């Protein structure tokens, strides 16, 4: 099964995810959306599986730097998609595409069940 992991290379959660995949001998391709960006169609595919408030990292500094009005607007699909494309650090990570499965965030127990 082809696995693609989306995120930012220097994120601590991403480092845990990479270590987990490597330790389990799972091959993957990595899409660093800090360097490569992310397109609208990919975000829209993710939004078929997750709500926008799940995809946006509301605990991160990028989101917290937005004013209150922008934060509310970010949690609506049209504005949120544009903000995620412009400020990729706002996207929760990692996002893993494994066949037809989509995993959001790193949870070792869930990954063991879904990927292990």
pLDDT, tens digit (0-9, with 9 covering 90-100), for 79-89 = 899 999 999 99
pLDDT value for 48: 94
Find the domain containing 19 and state its range: 3-114
Q: What is the largest CA-CA distance in the chain?
A: 45
pLDDT of residue 1 exceeding 70:
no
11 annotated active-site: yes
Write the CATH number for 75.
3.40.30.10
C-beta of residue 28 within 8 angstroms of C-beta of residue 5? yes
51 contacts: CB under 8 Å, gap ≥ 6? none
Closest by CA to 101, choosing from 22, 4, 33, is 4
Number of domains observed in the structure of the chain: 1
Which residue of the set 5, 11, 21, 83 is catalytic? 11
């Amino acid at each position: 099964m082809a696995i693609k992991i989306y995120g930012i290379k220097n994120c601590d959660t991403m480092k845990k995810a990479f270590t987990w995949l490597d330790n389990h001998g799972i091959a993957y391709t990595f899409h660093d959306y800090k360097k490569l960006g992310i397109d609208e169609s990919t975000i829209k595919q993710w939004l078929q599986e997750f709500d926008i408030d799940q995809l946006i990292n509301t605990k991160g500094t990028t989101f917290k730097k937005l004013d209150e009005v922008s934060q509310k607007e970010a949690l609506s699909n049209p504005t949120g998609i544009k903000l995620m494309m412009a400020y990729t650090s706002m996207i929760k990570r990692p996002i893993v595409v494994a066949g037809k499965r989509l995993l959001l965030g790193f949870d070792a127990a869930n990954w063991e069940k879904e990927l292990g």
